Amino acid sequence: MTREQPLLDIENLTVSFPTRQGVFEAVRGISFTLGRERLGIVGESGSGKSMTGRAILRLIRPPGRITARRLEFSGTDLLQLDEHEMRKIRGQRISMVMQDPKFSLNPVMRIGEQIMEIYRFHTGAGKRAAHARAIEMLEAVSIRDPERVMRAWPHEMSGGMGQRIMIAMMMVTEPDILIADEPTSALDVSVQTQVLSIMDRLVHERGMGLIFISHDLNLVASFCDRVLIMYAGRIVEVCAADRLHEAQHPYTRGLLGSLPRLHEPRRHLEVLKRDPAWRETPSVSGRQ
Amino acid sequence: MSRLVFNDLSVWFGEGASRVDAVRHATFEVPSGASFGLVGESGSGKSTILRALMGLAPDWSGEMIVGEQRLGPKRNRAFYKQVQMVFQDPYASLHPRHSVDQVLSEVLKLHGFRDINRRVQALLDDVGLGPGFRFRYPHQLSGGQRQRVAIARALAPEPSVLLLDEPTSALDVSVQAEVLNLLNDLREEHRLTYLLVSHDLAVVAHMCQSTAVMQNGEIVEMLTVEDMRAMRARHPYTCHLLESASGYNPNAAQAL
Amino acid sequence: MNRQDISRNPDDPRLGFRAWLLTDTPSSRLHARCVAFYAGWLKLRSNTMAMVGLGILILLVLVAAFAPWLAPHDPLAQNLAGRLQPPLSESHLLGTDSLGRDILSRLIYGSRITLYIVALVALIAPIAGLLVGTIAGYAGGIVDAILMRITDIFLAFPRLVLALAFVAALGAGIENAVLAISITAWPPYARLARAETLTIRNSDYISAIRLQGAGPIRIITRHIWPLCTSSLIVRVTLDMAGVILAAAGLGFLGLGAQPPSPEWGAMIAEGRRFILDSWWVATMPGLAIFTVSLAFNLLGDGLRDVLDPKEGG
């Protein structure tokens, strides 16, 4: 792992929403850094993992509030930027891929136009350059006939194609960080492997930082370098991905135990017993 | 006597040029009291087989047998008393304005039971929900609790066959474990026959003795659970499924 | 307006009842209904504008109920000596009309007629629409085609013209005006109910009850209606303004309530002749129509938030 300045340095990040019952904290004071690596964030629904991804891009709608002692991207304090400056970061320097491409692509614009628009918005390049770049990116995500796909409408694409197009779209500006929120859980296994290998290549070849948010422990363990395990808005454990199966925290152990395993048949799956104390223990730091 | 037999079953939607063949010539048998899995990606036709059996897909050919009875185009109430189904998404399968009590007592009334009060309690006990849940509405329940209610509803007519359409894919893993354990216990207690549809091989291996792997509407391979554990598969698609069950494999990605 | 308030006021004598209404674990069917209803009420109460609308409507009902005690004068008593008195004149707060009748008293008695029309239309039109729409949506095929074409025919006529035709055929009068308005008002409800039914019909919970052997009548009445009614109720409250105006329009054309009955629309029609010299004669009933229409709209907006079934209320 690199020892240079991290791409992303987060300290004491909190996301809170005022409700009628009082303030609800979806993320409760977590700290971590991201280098040029594949960082996995795992947790169950409601653990705050998706909120963390959105908070980095400041995509939390009011009345939701983001606070942090530090939220730095390559030395820039993201919390100090105004909305206009933030828009330049989003998409150009930090990109995000969501779970379902159907909701992320504009249904009334051809795919090529959408990719080119993003590229031109962020770089100010001409039409021709943008076209060439879009084709190049579609090829990079293993799309066989990029010219045809450029002219296609989003509804003509299958789920796997759509997700690859999303990744191409997010990568066209060569961001430093890609935040992928459950990018493959709507995809079938064969496509899932392809999409993962594309992201893997981008990390290796371009030195990008990847935040991979997922509920799938096996997938994160085999795909990422480092894993943060989140519970109730806090990080309960940080470990190297290949050592995830030796994790210590009872929550992580419980999650692993509750997975059915192909090679270890069991009559009964372990049932996770939630300890209220997990909620209260301070967040583990994921800073390096 | 509740075996299921599917003989050369084909299911299609639409007519003429817009006809889509969802299932083509599927043949398999689920012995009485067994648990059988159908695995495949979305659109492979695995859920369509369940829908055809339940009478929700009107255009089909071939033969479907439940017990000793060959199914015709219509299903009567006696059929639904014997075969029941649990849906994938517990957030969509419960009526938003009906309380748990309403859901269960309506089903019991439909099937002509008398002691409804006692039976509702018993059903809730069966699926591990206490009496405190009886008068709640779906929006007051978690995903796992909703799926338990859906299971209770399916058990209400005392069926002998339960069709499970991805019963845990909308749930967190820890909740999935609870629901799978519950389903296993119920199968033993009530001597049920299961036909389980899933995209997750590990879930199928955990629940079923044998499995059919489907791709593009066809069954490409039949496996026993021992075959799966020993990774004994002949069809390349099955091999790939088995490999990716244990996570991301960069070598497999190279091969693509 | 919630759990926190209770914890702050443990001495509140209503605590027991409120806690009972706010519990997560109701103990009977009735209790569960009360809890759901109270949660909806709390949500509605937090919407100030809806509460204003509700307040105005409650006031209208009270005024109609106690009209004989509230009205300072007989609404039909003429006094040609004191005709066209301006507002705030002696003993006539809102002035008098061309026959010297007290406008305030006429408005107060007119609220009865307005409520009568509104209540009848609100009962007839949505129920007819709900029946036609859900049957068409659930049955599909030829039934759907026939019912919807009939609906289209009614929709294609301009509303007031169709109502005029009916009143002309049946004779002028409030009952016939109500009937005419209802006949022109049901098609939008049918369309709405059909659209809702089409989305509900294919949902898993309808499949689930079908798989229990339930027949179409049970599915429509027990499972589809409860989900359609909320949007229909919202639509009714939003339409009420239009209904009042249509009734007023018929009254204005002399085809609704007949003189000397103090129907608000008819009052405007009468005041029209003096609009330049005696503005109040037409303006006061106009303001009354405006206020009540606005109240219905505000309440409708608030109800839409509370009754949205997608929020599971």
Of residues A155 and B183, the one with the higher pLDDT is: B183
Residue-wise pLDDT tens digits, C219-240: 999 999 988 888 888 888 888 8
Q: What is the pLDDT of residue A101?
A: 67
Query: Quick check: A270 and B248 CB within 8 A?
Result: no
Q: Is a pLDDT exceeding 50 seen at residue C189?
A: yes
Partner C contacted by A21 (CB < 8 A):
yes
Helix locations, chain A, DSSP H: 49-56, 83-89, 101-104, 111-123, 127-140, 146-151, 159-171, 189-206, 217-223, 250-257, 276-280
Residues contacting residue C11 through CB under 8 Å, at least 6 positions apart: none
Residue-wise pLDDT tens digits, A57-84: 888 888 889 999 989 898 888 888 888 8
Tokens for C58, please give them: 């409650």
Report helix, strand or coil for C204.
Answer: helix
Query: Quick check: A271 and B172 CB within 8 A?
Result: no
Which residue shows structure tokens 């779209």? A169
Contact B216, B20 (CB under 8 A): no
Query: Quick check: A21 and C1 CB within 8 A?
Result: no
- Tell me which amino acid residue A194 is: Q
Query: Å from C208 to nearest chain B CA?
Result: 7
CA distance readout (Å), A113 to A101, A103, A152, C306: 16, 17, 10, 41
Least CB–CB distance from B256: residue in A194, A219, A255: A194
Query: Å from A251 to nearest chain C CA?
Result: 27
Query: Quick check: B177 and A200 CB within 8 A?
Result: no
Contact A38, C19 (CB under 8 A): no
Residue C168 CB neighbour total at 10 angstroms: 12
Which residue shows structure tokens 């009107």? B58
CA distance B200 to B207: 11
Q: What is the pLDDT of residue B164?
A: 94
CA distance B56 to C38: 39
Mean pLDDT lowest for which of A27-31, A243-247, C303-307? C303-307
CA distance B149 to C204: 14
Contacts of B77 in chain C (CB under 8 A): 213
Query: Quick check: B203 and A260 CB within 8 A?
Result: yes
Q: What is the pLDDT of residue C10?
A: 42
- Spell A73-90 as b/e; 16+ CB within 10 A means b: beeeebeebeeeebeebb
Residues with pLDDT less than 50, chain B: none
Query: Quick check: B253 and A258 CB within 8 A?
Result: no
Q: What is the pLDDT of residue C313?
A: 37
* Length reported for chain C: 313
Domain of C141?
A: 31-311
- Tell me which amino acid residue A35 is: G
Query: Å from B122 to nearest chain A CA?
Result: 23
Partner C contacted by A20 (CB < 8 A):
yes
Contact B155, B190 (CB under 8 A): yes
Query: Quick check: A260 and B247 CB within 8 A?
Result: no
Beta partners for C210? none
CA distance A245 to A42: 13
Contacting chains of C (3 CB pairs or more, <8 Å) are A, B
Residue B84: name the closest of C209, C215, C220 by CA.
Answer: C209
CA distance B198 to A23: 39
Contacts of A20 in chain C (CB under 8 A): 1-2, 4
Q: What is the pLDDT of residue A172?
A: 83
- Tell me the domains of chain A and their CATH numbers: 8-280 (3.40.50.300)
Contacts of B80 in chain C (CB under 8 A): 211-213
The interface pTM score, or ipTM, of the predicted complex is 0.85
Partner C contacted by A22 (CB < 8 A):
yes
Which residue shows structure tokens 């991979």? A212
- CB contacts under 8 A, B 66-95 vs C, are 75-77, 80-81, 84-85, 87-89, 92-95
To probe the interface with A, which of B215, B244, B249 has the most A CB atoms within 10 Å? B244
Mean pLDDT of A33-48: 90
Partner B contacted by C15 (CB < 8 A):
no
Q: Is a pLDDT exceeding 60 seen at residue A232?
A: yes
Q: What is the pLDDT of residue B253?
A: 60
Q: What is the pLDDT of residue B26?
A: 93
Residues contacting residue C39 through CB under 8 Å, at least 6 positions apart: C22, C313
Least CB–CB distance from A263: residue in B184, B229, B252: B229
Contacting chains of A (3 CB pairs or more, <8 Å) are B, C
Residue A130 CB neighbour total at 10 angstroms: 22
Residues contacting residue A50 through CB under 8 Å, at least 6 positions apart: A181, A182, A213
Query: Å from C6 to nearest chain B CA?
Result: 20
Domain total of chain C = 1
Mean pLDDT of C236-246: 81
Residue-wise pLDDT tens digits, C262-301: 888 888 888 888 888 888 888 888 899 889 989 988 988 8
To probe the interface with B, which of C43, C205, C220 has the most B CB atoms within 10 Å? C205
Residue C7 resides in a domain: no
Residue C103 resides in a domain: yes
Residue C20 resides in a domain: no
Partner A contacted by C3 (CB < 8 A):
yes
Q: How do the residues of chain B divide into helix, strand and coil, expressed in percent and rounded to 5?
A: 40, 25, 35
CA distance readout (Å), B164 to A189, B48, B74, B206: 21, 12, 21, 14
Beta partners for B165? B197
Tokens for C189, please give them: 């409800």
Residue-wise pLDDT tens digits, C86-113: 887 777 888 888 888 888 999 999 899 8
Confidence of residue A121 (pLDDT cuts 50, 70, 90): confident
Q: What is the pLDDT of residue B118?
A: 92
Query: Quick check: A21 and C2 CB within 8 A?
Result: yes
Cβ pairs bridging A and B (under 8 Å): 102
Q: Which CATH entry fits the domain spanning B4-245: 3.40.50.300, 3.40.50.10860, 1.10.8.350, 3.40.50.12170?
A: 3.40.50.300
Mean pLDDT of A253-263: 86
Cβ pairs bridging B and C (under 8 Å): 85
Highest mean pLDDT among A122-136, C9-23, C123-137: C123-137
Residue C145 resides in a domain: yes
Average pLDDT along chain A? 85
Mean pLDDT of C126-133: 93
CA distance C143 to C149: 10
CA distance readout (Å), A3 to A288, B216, C111, C124: 8, 49, 80, 76
Contacts of C212 in chain B (CB under 8 A): 80, 106-107, 110-111, 153, 156-157
